[in-house]
Structure 1
Amino acid sequence: MSTNTQADPQELLAQQAALARFGEFALRCDDLGDILHEACRLVGEALGTDLAKVVELQPDGLTLLVREGVGWKPGVVGGVRTDMAHGPEGLALRTGQAVVSPDLNREDRFEIPDFVREHGSQSAVCVVIMGVDGTPPYGVLQVDSRQREAFGPPDISFLQTYANMLASAVGRLRASAELRRKAEDNERLLRELQHRVKNNLQVMVAMLDLQSRQLRAPESRAAMRGVARRVEALRLLHDKLHLSGEVDQIDLGEYLAQLSAGLLGFHEGGAARIQLVLEVQHGLIASPDQAAPLGLAVNEFITNSLKHAFGNGPGRVGLKLEAESVQRAKLSLWDNGQGLPLPRKTSGTGMRMIDSFGRQLGSAVHWNSDSGGTRLEMTIRLRSG
């Protein structure tokens, strides 16, 4: 170490090498404890001392904790606390200046903590680890020696450079932790909102179903149940998002399969005589703003088939979802009923809604109908989030 104002060239090279190693380590490490420990190890080696530590200022602004260090007995690091009146650390934090003590036994500026005396420390030098963006200081970086040492300005400058690098690392990690905390808070709030929306939709479905049972006119009852089916499609989407833990993406095959199966229960007598044929490829991920119109389109097609395609006889309704490429999926819906009314311009509200949902998804809806039934196909470009 330097005992005068001029640095020894060999010592300077060793210090610069230590700074370079530490700078690289601090940039790639995300654990503050590891960064602080490595700083203590490297400054101790560079200055040729036995003891080094980082003392952390606690939130009360009065208590100091030995946060990391090298050369100390078990129980000191992470366990020993002092106050601002003890040791050179407190003086450095009170004055904002580096503190050098070539002979701790002759000090009258501060009290020496008992654990420092027990380790035989004779000399010490410490510098403040400043806060970032106006925050209070983080703490102090200190080197102790069991021999009397005259730490010179080059040593203080070297130590302060380390402290400044530590301040930057602490600021970076605190900012990252704050961003993670905010992201977690936002995700929690979004999940709570998702849960409330799902519950509200469930209540709406129950109310609509109850209201439809009280209506005497068949047309009014059918219209009310149609609204309930559409709300149920949205409720199921929210349910899937909530249960999966992913609020921005959904397994499209799983959602459409469950939705299709549930539609038979809405159709009086449909479950007994209509067979549902499902061929869905799982793992096709879509965003909620894709799944919602697609689910409503499936709802309209199957509902129309159940109402108009088979009369009072048996029949089959099918849904097939398959990948066409990495980012595209093909949806096919079909029934083996009596076919669509022609011409298409006379078709009902359900078919027009399906065409509208297709435009919303940026997909053309291809219809085909004959005496063997009705079929539609549409290709969807998948995106999550």
Structure 2
Amino acid sequence: MKTILSVTKRNSVLSKMAALLEQERANLKAVNQQDLNNYSGDDLAMEKRLLVDDAKIDGMILSLQQLTIQEDPVGKVRFDFTHENGLKIYNKTAAFGTIMIIYESRPDVTVEAGGIAFKSGNKILLKGGKESLLSNLKIVELWQQALKDNEVAADWVEYLNYNREETQAFLEQPTQKVDLIVPRGGEKLIAFVKKHATCPVIVSGRGNNFVYVNAEADLDQALAIIINGKTSNISVCNALDKVLIDTNLENWEAFTKKLITELQQRNVIVLGDISISKIANVPEIESDLIWYEEFLDYKIVIGIANSNQEAIDKINKYCGGHSASIITKNDFIAQEFMDNVDTAAVYQNASTRFTDGGQFGLGGELAISTDKLHQRGPIGLQHLVTNKWYIYGDGQIR
């Protein structure tokens, strides 16, 4: 493990990186255009994530500026105890050491996730997808310039320009110490990393989020929340894929038809379970397996629930462990739903699109974890630490 950099030094590198992104804005967009021109796939969500425009660069710069002013997460005392024999015992937050981030198509991850990992005292290994190679190499060049300008060794941020076979070989037998791996991307990427990695992996990126419209819902709110969750950005893991409608809702059929019309007007493909298909003339799902799917597309599945418990059970069976929202004016029912649905984030009367480190006040995120260890949901700067015990004695023996 490298000697940890002082927080002053880490902040100086982050500030310099923000300045370099502003300075190289035009060049970065031009390089990214080459990646976009080279991308021949037909994955709309991936193409959207691949784009680096002024808004994305503004977001990168802002994330670095916010990180610079955030408190150092390393060395915080979490627990202290004085033993009866006089030993002074402390548990403090500590850096992991080296964090590897493997991701697809999002050059902004090279800045935002890399920045969080660096600020929390870690060496960074970045492995982006081939579709964003030129953009990533340009950004890493800026990282290394920021390090050099602050007299910090360039290998604090490294880019691993590996193909799939080389990546697999590295995961199975790393040529340098790796303490934690964070895969950011689709389910195939996550499965690949989990299968081959020899160190801890934080699973993140899978959505398949649900909204449940309860019998006591405000229907205007329900409509707005579902439209926002599905259509505001299809390419993100907090987008909405499934809707359950309580059959105890007054005029639930009329509401469902109105919802489907609104979605179809926004070019969303709507599929229904057998009940929804009958009343609304939309294609019926071919198999219940579709309830497990994350779409990352203008596509949604709507089904019914005959009770709150049925909705909870269905969400817990099929969801990706990310986010679920109940639309209801009944706070007791909402609390029961939120306590019993097994997702990292649970909502009452709000869009799942808010599951995001920046929106949650974390100042950005490394990932959104659907694991329960060591941190669940958005992983911000303050969560990207392990811990260490410090014991101060004066010759005590046991």
- TM-score normalised by L of structure 1: 0.20
User: Which one has a bigger Cα radius of gyration?
Assistant: 1
**Greater RCO (Cα-Cα under 8 Å, separation 6 or more):** 2
**When you count helix as a share of all residues, which structure comes out higher?**
1
